[in-house]
């Protein structure tokens, strides 16, 4: 690695680890993340300004021999404008660890590698979850609280893990406890134990500490938020995706219905589907009940998907994602989706170094950052199937 010490560590973070970190977060976070473009287009001064076109051109029509020509009228355009979100990955190394490792290059490299792998894996999980969220960051809902044992009973522990710092809020957005550290999780009983709790009550929501209303505008927002990209969808119906309530077993007929709607009403070509694990099993059950072979497709980034063959024998990959809501299947044209970013992942080093001292501690830290958000240029081309019976 060359000379050891803080400068050597900074050079290693920049030269050896950054490209790998970028690749893993852009291509390894999830199959969904891999399929969509990452671009700086439409990003102006930290905001995403994305033109949304809808309707038909008014200057097209038939007339009599001596009739007036059609009246020109361009397709309608609305300017979507929304802020990029701020995502950080922060690592810390003690001064003692750096000093001790001076005599062992291998130990020093392993020290950095382990810290980065941990940050990388957690950042991938964070991104994968947010792609399906609605921007609020809600992880679960509290059903009861035992202050004495510092125990929260929640409706779902799937998105929680020991060591996370979490905040509790009322459904109206009033903060209760902030910075609670999860010390243990009892998955059998949906218990979450924290280091401290005082004002959290039943019906509160839990979020990653500091994340409330700061997360990506994920698919949950695209299909359900009343205000999307600053536009009120209660009066702008052209901005509404299609939701089909299956309310039962998955069928190829209802899947084709969703694909047909996307093409008929929005001109979208569904080329990717994301679902919960249970819905993937439901699709496998559907094919097996028809005594048909379950085939797979290879997607960009090396991800594997189940194969759906729709009308005109078009093959579409179906990928299960652990962060997709249960009983749900999203049908997407990935050409309409992009991660709009100020720039790709990079270290905060404007002060002249990647590693800098931690105030009040004998340690150094480095911070990776990315300013971005998920955008959909044609929300009406998104179709979501809900309430599918899972297997």
Place of tokens 């957690």: 122
Nearest to 258 by CA among 239, 240, 244, 277: 244
Closest CA to 382 of 177, 233, 191, 185: 233
Judged on CB neighbours under 10 Å (0-12, 13-18, 19+), 345 is: buried
> Counting beta carbons within 10 angstroms of the beta carbon of residue 369, is it exposed (0 to 12), middle (13 to 18) or buried (19 or more)?
middle
What proportions of the chain, in percent to the nearest 5, are helix, strand and coil? 30, 35, 40
Q: Please report, for residues 40, 46, 82, 307, 339, the alpha-carbon distance to residue 43 in angstroms, rounded to integers and kept in the order given.
A: 6, 6, 10, 35, 10
Q: What is the pLDDT of residue 289?
A: 86
DSSP 187: T
In this structure, the number of other CB atoms found within 10 A of the CB of residue 71 comes to 8
Residue with tokens 């989706």: 337
> Residue 2 has what pLDDT?
37
Task: List the chain residues with pLDDT less than 50.
Answer: 1-3
pTM: 0.90
Q: Could you give the 3-state DSSP secondary structure of residue 375?
A: strand
Do residues 271 and 332 lie in contact, with contact meaning Cβ atoms separated by under 8 Å? yes
The CATH number of 138-208 is 2.40.30.10
The CA–CA distances, whole Å, from 75 to 55, 59, 78, 234, 298 equal 6, 10, 10, 21, 37
* Domain chopping of the chain, boundaries: 6-51+83-132+341-372, 138-208, 243-337+377-388
| Domain 243-337+377-388 annotated CATH 1.10.3720.10 | no
pLDDT of residue 378: 93
């Amino acid at each position: 690695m060359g000379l050891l010490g803080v400068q050597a560590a900074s050079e290693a973070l920049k030269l050896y680890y950054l490209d790998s970190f970028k690749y893993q977060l852009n291509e390894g976070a999830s199959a969904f993340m891999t399929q969509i473009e990452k671009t700086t287009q439409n990003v102006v001064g930290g905001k995403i300004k994305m033109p949304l076109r809808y309707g038909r051109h008014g200057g097209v029509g038939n007339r009599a021999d001596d009739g007036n020509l059609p009246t020109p009228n361009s397709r309608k355009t609305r300017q979507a404008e929304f802020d990029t979100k701020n995502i950080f990955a922060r690592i810390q190394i003690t001064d003692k660890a750096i000093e001790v490792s001076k005599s062992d290059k291998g130990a020093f490299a392993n020290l950095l590698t382990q810290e980065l792998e941990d940050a990388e894996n957690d950042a991938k999980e964070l991104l994968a979850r947010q792609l399906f969220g609605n921007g609020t960051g809600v992880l679960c809902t509290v059903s009861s609280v035992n202050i004495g044992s510092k125990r929260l009973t929640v409706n779902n522990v799937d998105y929680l893990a020991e060591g996370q710092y979490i905040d509790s809020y009322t459904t109206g957005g009033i903060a209760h406890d902030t910075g609670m550290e999860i010390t243990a999780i009892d998955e059998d009983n949906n218990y979450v134990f924290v280091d401290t709790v005082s004002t959290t009550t039943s019906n509160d929501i839990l979020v990653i500490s500091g994340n409330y209303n700061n997360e990506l505008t994920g698919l949950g927002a695209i299909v359900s938020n009343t205000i999307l990209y600053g536009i009120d969808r209660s009066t702008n119906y052209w901005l509404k995706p299609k939701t089909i309530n299956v309310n039962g077993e998955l069928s190829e007929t209802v899947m084709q219905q969703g694909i047909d709607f996307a093409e008929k009403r929005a001109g979208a070509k569904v080329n990717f589907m994301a679902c919960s694990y249970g819905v993937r099993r439901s699709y496998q059950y559907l094919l097996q009940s028809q005594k048909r072979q379950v085939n797979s497709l290879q997607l960009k980034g090396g991800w594997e998907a189940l194969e759906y063959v729709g009308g005109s024998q078009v093959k579409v990959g179906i990928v299960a994602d652990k962060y997709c809501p249960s009983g749900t299947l999203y049908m997407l044209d990935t050409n309409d989706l992009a991660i709009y970013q100020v720039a790709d992942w990079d270290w905060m080093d404007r002060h002249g170094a990647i590693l800098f001292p931690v105030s009040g501690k004998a340690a150094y830290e480095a911070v990776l950052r990315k300013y971005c958000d998920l955008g959909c240029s044609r929300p009406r081309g998104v179709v979501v199937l809900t309430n599918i019976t899972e297997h």
